Structure 1
């Protein structure tokens, strides 16, 4: 069929044509934003799930919800090699400028400008001159110690009070939160704790891999009470079928029941894979309905596309030794697997491969769903690894 009418979007973070099965998460976000804006306690939340479940898509939708409510929002993606202060400072500057334009200068706005200048100076981050329309000197003694755990809460308090003064709110939206260092997570948690205690209109909505829950709990024991951690997983069969069939139906194209069942079995309900298989099936079909035979032809193209993009980009981040560990895991199947079984496949002791396992967890390639277990953070990665490289027994 005409590829120009293909409704599917197999692209990381892109809004799918049919966002099925995520209404509870979005309702939770709307409630938190509305409560914060009304001056009521709003519990921040951090979505956790594997790759390909659509966490980034949901964060983008939350940003839209925040914007509709006149929130000032920061959209940040954490990185292994970039620190939180460097990511936050430009966003905080922009939000301060936006708040300053909402009305005449007031005490809370003056203080925010001074605290922000102190913070930027102390963390030695270059974000350009902080222009608020008037001269605002740095506020000496506030957020200028160089200790993020001390400074970030002071800055968030000033930001929250300025937003409250303007009748606005602040939404801090962070993707890939698992890449933050423990001390940075601690500072962020402390900042949100301070603003929540004062019922200021500041909300954190973040997303990350499953290991994030334990990492946050280790950073601050009270974090599990401060945040909700909604799990984002594969879609259940009715929602997966709707995400696949509805976009085609809007174009006047149907699937046979057998074709839908075939794709749901291959993708296991993961939204990114549904988009990939739907896109390839559309391009492979000559006319409606899309049949199981068409899906079989499309599967080869879908796997080839995933191998050279979705999967390959992650494999290429690994060292040869790390790839060998992942290949040993793949030989055991989809997982999770006992750490001892993986070590045995490599012909080594568990203690000897422990640091290697830790490196892969830090890179977001694997996680520990329970003590002593190891699983891939990328669905179907075991199948890819078996296609990508031979296994070399230990």
Structure 2
């Protein structure tokens, strides 16, 4: 098959050729965004799920839908080691500058930019990574107390007032929210709560690993009433078949039904893995129709590609102690697993492994579905750990 015409797109956040199985959620969030624009009650949403299920792709598609309807959007990724004020400030500045070009919203937007100047200048003492241009002088007493929770509320109010004057809404799209520290997450939740109370058109659509739900509940007890938490998981079988079959058909080729079923079995319906197997199967096939033997030939290359990119980039971030812990988890299977069972795998005490487990949760490698349980955040990571750390030497 012509590699130039390969329709599949394995990559970090790369849009797939067919976004299958997500229409219901997209429609639900479209309704929430439009209600926000009208000043009607609407819950913000947090998309939660494992790595590789397509949260980032879905977040970006919902943002594109919002932009197409005239809603102003802000797109942020929350990396490890950066403060929330630092990643928010430049993007809010851009949103306010866009709103300031609209005559009906100009005065409110300018006041928002003054609030942003006060917000950034005072909080820079605490969060030294804030870097943002100041378009106007601060207004004394406006978002400049130096207290994140108080000042973020004031800043969001000004953003909401400018959006309301413009007859639109501002939608914040924040990826990897699990990396935001609890105190800063609490301030974000409080600011969103305040805009909802004032019926201002500001909405948040976030995405993160499964532990995000618990993190937000710990940060503010009312978070579960303020947000929806749709779980993004593997695609249902029919949607997974569509994700494989339709891109191939759009290129004028076909794939046998048993070949599709084999891909579904190997990938377990995870969106990223479907793209990886689809891409390598296309390359392995000599002609249409694509057959099951092409899938078998492609599987070696697909697994090697995952090992060197999707899996390896996460493995390399771990310390030797953390790798041993992950290998012990893998020995027990996909999980989740009890802490005592993991410790027993290589003769360690549960209490001695608590710091290692905590560090792995912080890095987003594992999460706790229930008290005392630990599970991988990356699908099929147990099999990768057995490939990368074979034998029994890891127990020593």
TM-score range, shorter chain: over 0.9
CA distance in 2, matches of 1:128, 1:316: 33
The alpha-carbon deviation at position 106 of structure 1 amounts to 4.8
Q: Report the TM-score when normalising by structure 2.
A: 0.96
**2:115 matches 1:115:** yes
The alpha-carbon deviation at position 113 of structure 1 amounts to 2.2
CA distance in 2, matches of 1:82, 1:156: 20
**2:391 matches 1:393:** no
The alpha-carbon deviation at position 149 of structure 1 amounts to 1.0
The alpha-carbon deviation at position 318 of structure 1 amounts to 0.6
Query: Which residue is 2:27 aligned to?
Result: 27
After superposition, the CA RMSD in angstroms is 1.2
The alpha-carbon deviation at position 177 of structure 1 amounts to 0.5
Q: What does residue range 162-311 of structure 1 map to in structure 2 within 5 Å?
A: 162-311=162-311
Contact 2:85 2:130 in 1 (8 A): no
CA distance in 2, matches of 1:240, 1:104: 46
Q: What does residue range 1-394 of structure 1 map to in structure 2 within 5 Å?
A: 1-103=1-103, 106-124=106-124, 126-131=130-135, 136-390=136-390, 391=392, 392-393=394-395
SS of match in other structure, 1:172: strand
CA distance in 2, matches of 1:370, 1:127: 39
CA distance in 1, matches of 2:173, 2:109: 22
The alpha-carbon deviation at position 128 of structure 1 amounts to 4.6
**Alpha-carbon displacement from aligned partner over 1:12-60 (angstroms, at most 9, x marks no partner):** 1011111110011111110011101111112100010000000000111
The alpha-carbon deviation at position 144 of structure 1 amounts to 1.1
Gaps of 5+ in 2: none
SS of match in other structure, 2:383: helix
The 1:372–1:104 alpha-carbon spacing in structure 2 relative to 1, beyond 3 Å, is closer
Q: Report the TM-score when normalising by structure 1.
A: 0.97
How many residue pairs end up in the alignment?
390
**Alpha-carbon displacement from aligned partner over 1:233-287 (angstroms, at most 9, x marks no partner):** 0011111111011100111221112111111000000010000000000000011
SS of match in other structure, 1:309: helix
Gaps of 5+ in 1: none
The 1:49–1:93 alpha-carbon spacing in structure 2 relative to 1, beyond 3 Å, is same
The alpha-carbon deviation at position 108 of structure 1 amounts to 2.1
